Amino acid sequence: MQEDKHEAIMELAKRRGFFWQSYEIYGGVAGFYDLGPLGVRLKEKIISLWREFFVKKHAHIVVEIETPIIAPARVFEASGHLEHFTDPIVECLKCGRKFRADHLIEEKLGIKAEGLSIEEMTKIIREHDLRCPVCGGPLSDVKLFNLLFKTTIGPYSSNTGYLRPETAQGMFVSFKRVYEVSRKRLPLGIAQIGRVARNEISPRQGMLRLREFTIAEIEFFFDPEEPVSDDMFRELLDQLPRRKIRILTVEAKKKGEEKPFEINIEEAIREKLILTPWLGYWMTVAQEYMHALGIGYDEMYFDEKAPEERAHYSAQTFDQLVRVSRYGWIEVSGHSYRTDYDLSRHMRYSGEDLRVFKQYKEPLVVKKKHLLWDKAWIGRTYRSRAREIFEALSRMNPEEVLKQLEEKGYLEIAGAKIPKDKIKIVEKEEKITGKRFIPHVAEPSFGVERILYAVLDHAYTVKDERVVLKLPRLVAPIDVAVFPLVKDENIIQVARKIWLSLMNNGFYTIYDEEDSIGRRYARVDEIGVPAAITVDYQSLEDNTVTLRDRDTWEQVRIRINNVVDAVRDFLRGASLDDIKHKYG
């Protein structure tokens, strides 16, 4: 049955036009999927709900941008992807098989090869005359296999560009400008929804592992010393219907635990199970988001990744797992604490100062010990070496100097001996108006196509041998269907008028007069249309129509004048009873 459900979903997806494999007429290419008419609508609604949860509801701390898919090589040198997203491989010149070069060297020679350059590895292979482990043929030079898609920018082949494997770098690279236009406030979340590409070696599992897909993510920048004020955090948490999340920590796994446990988010942060409040906060929002998409709280949890499982930039990562029928627990989002890794790398590679300055509410007055030395005496005594001595002195810690002077009566520095009476230590008040630092980053990152699959998996139900796609009303690709009960000219006229008015009021609407009414209900149930308006003979007499609920198949009568408002309320979650009382 579990297997059948997956098959049934894939079949439904193809048959009704949610998605299918790309380039079908050319035999297909692994890792690429087309979205059909319904798939596009569903995806758009999933994305707009994401935007609702993560951007709109946080408009005071999150802004959204859009950056290119193609970036110059330098960006991925800085990000570490060219280095870490790459595997060194050698090819057998005889049989054509490919091997991980570093693994081969380690395996055959016991030499640690990880991190060596391709030249070094090639040299080792030549020196030891390593050959193909399968056929014994000679090996090629070590080459890099990179999961980044490569391209050329402009007419010069030397100008290499890469397709981004994540949208994140766009936010880091443009951080300074976005920070500027956001009036230099922290915390600041920069969101982006966009396509990414990864040249996976062997993608499988349909929509779950694609070579090109859509990511929705936030790079959330904050001050690591004061991530968030108590007031702000309380206010944010108060907006959430639920503060508990289910997590499975690395620590718990070490103890043999396999099941997640439930914990209050504040407690998890306090207990340092989650390293920064923001990571925890966005995980909680992620939980609400998936819940709004029809996933039960007990059908998801956050799985902490062990250090060796984490990406190179991450200090802590939780994967949000959701249960689906075929594959068990699948990852729909990743929550990483990227620290200041990315910004500091881009600082180094670009030479731009990406630190932010934070002014204290009141300047800090610090008493600080300063060294004063007798420049005249040192100059006279050491002449040309004086400058060097001054510099060395300025680097000294006053406490250290004090200690030496107490013990020995003089200070030995840069080959010079300075007597106690030539050095003075004074305490000075210093005003510190603020600090300059590299913000830290918490990143919630969602794979949209995976969410789409998970949503379908959870929405798929069978009722009386009919498929009913119980998509949450908010994300259903089609909002409402309009049917004349039978093909009666008068009824059709009324129905078409209602259909047009719904369409013109912003609803995705289906009108259908073919076949029996039952068959039409069945058709729209199968693609998850939440509401159906049916015009019947009574409509002609009293100007009412019925509104049918996809999930219960129950109907209420409402006045024709109220159809638009009733549908709007219904899609926002109103019950049939409410609709009846308000619009009946």
Partner RNA sequence: GCGGCGGUCGUCUAGCCUGGACUAGGACGCCGGCCUGCCAAGCCGGAGAUCCCGGGUUCAAAUCCCGGCCGCCGCACCA
Q: Which of 114, 238, 465, 489 binds RNA (CB under 7 A)?
A: 465
CA dist., res. 511 & res. 504, Å (int): 13
CA dist., res. 559 & res. 541, Å (int): 12
Q: Which stretch binds RNA (CB under 7 A): 97-105, 120-128, 283-291, 388-396?
A: 97-105
Residues in Cβ contact with 489 at an 8 Å cutoff, skipping those fewer than 6 apart: none
Backbone conformation region of residue 28, classed left if phi is above 0, alpha if psi is from -120 to 50, else beta? left
Told to check if 166 binds RNA by CB under 7 A, we report yes
CA dist., res. 205 & res. 222, Å (int): 37
Told to check if 312 binds RNA by CB under 7 A, we report yes
Q: Which is nearer to RNA, 236 or 548 (CB)?
A: 548
The minimum distance between CB 488 and RNA, in angstroms, equals 8
Told to check if 165 binds RNA by CB under 7 A, we report yes
CA dist., res. 63 & res. 220, Å (int): 10
**Contact by Cβ (8 Å): 463, 475:** no
Q: Which of 252, 311, 347, 371 binds RNA (CB under 7 A)?
A: 311
Tell whether the torsion through CA atoms of 412, 418, 419 and 420 is positive or negative: negative
Q: Which is nearer to RNA, 179 or 282 (CB)?
A: 282
Q: Which of 129, 362, 427, 514 binds RNA (CB under 7 A)?
A: 514
Told to check if 27 binds RNA by CB under 7 A, we report yes
Q: What is the DSSP letter of 249?
A: -
Q: Which is nearer to RNA, 54 or 179 (CB)?
A: 54
**Contact by Cβ (8 Å): 203, 30:** yes
Q: Which stretch binds RNA (CB under 7 A): 37-45, 202-210, 296-304, 402-410?
A: 202-210
The minimum distance between CB 154 and RNA, in angstroms, equals 27
Q: Which is nearer to RNA, 276 or 317 (CB)?
A: 317
Q: Which of 291, 385, 523, 559 binds RNA (CB under 7 A)?
A: 523
Q: Which of 2, 4, 30, 561 binds RNA (CB under 7 A)?
A: 30
Write the interaction track for RNA spanning residues 171-200; mark x where CB under 7 A is met and - where it is not: ---------------------------x-x
Number of residues that bind RNA (CB under 7 A): 66
The minimum distance between CB 333 and RNA, in angstroms, equals 11
Told to check if 348 binds RNA by CB under 7 A, we report no
Residues 436-455 interacting with RNA (rule: CB under 7 A): 445
**Contact by Cβ (8 Å): 31, 203:** yes
Q: Which stretch binds RNA (CB under 7 A): 115-123, 230-238, 268-276, 308-316?
A: 308-316
**Contact by Cβ (8 Å): 356, 179:** yes
SS3 assignment, position 423: strand
The minimum distance between CB 342 and RNA, in angstroms, equals 11
Told to check if 87 binds RNA by CB under 7 A, we report yes
DSSP string, 118-167: HHHHHHHHHHTT---TTT---B---EEEESS-EEE-TT-TTSEEEE-SSS
**What's the chain's Rg over C-alpha atoms?**
32
Q: Which of 11, 107, 251, 400 binds RNA (CB under 7 A)?
A: 11
Burial zone of 558 (CB within 10 Å; 0-12 exposed, 13-18 middle, 19+ buried): buried
Euclidean distance between the first and final Cα of the chain, in Å?
A: 42
The minimum distance between CB 501 and RNA, in angstroms, equals 18
Specify the residue for token string 């407690």: 267
Residues in Cβ contact with 418 at an 8 Å cutoff, skipping those fewer than 6 apart: 373, 378, 389, 410, 411, 412
Told to check if 517 binds RNA by CB under 7 A, we report yes
Residues 266-285 interacting with RNA (rule: CB under 7 A): none
Q: What is the DSSP letter of 508?
A: -
Q: Which is nearer to RNA, 34 or 298 (CB)?
A: 34
Told to check if 57 binds RNA by CB under 7 A, we report no
Q: Which of 109, 199, 203, 410 binds RNA (CB under 7 A)?
A: 203
CA dist., res. 497 & res. 506, Å (int): 15
Write the interaction track for RNA spanning residues 473-502; mark x where CB under 7 A is met and - where it is not: ------------xxx---------------
Q: Which is nearer to RNA, 339 or 404 (CB)?
A: 339
Q: Which of 2, 28, 412, 582 binds RNA (CB under 7 A)?
A: 28
To which H or E segment does residue 170 belong? helix 168-173
CA dist., res. 427 & res. 402, Å (int): 13
Residues 212-241 interacting with RNA (rule: CB under 7 A): none
Q: Which of 111, 201, 366, 426 binds RNA (CB under 7 A)?
A: 201
Structure tokens at 288: 């609400």
Q: What is the DSSP letter of 52?
A: I
509-511 sheet: strands from edge to edge: 509-511, 480-484, 531-535, 544-549, 555-559
Told to check if 341 binds RNA by CB under 7 A, we report no
Q: Which stretch binds RNA (CB under 7 A): 105-113, 154-162, 400-408, 464-472?
A: 464-472
Q: What is the DSSP letter of 54?
A: I
Contacting positions for RNA (CB under 7 A): 10-11, 14-15, 21, 25, 27-31, 80-81, 84-85, 87, 97-98, 100, 147, 165-166, 198, 200-206, 209, 309, 311-313, 326-327, 334, 445, 464-467, 485-487, 514-519, 521-523, 525-526, 534, 536-538, 546, 548, 553-555
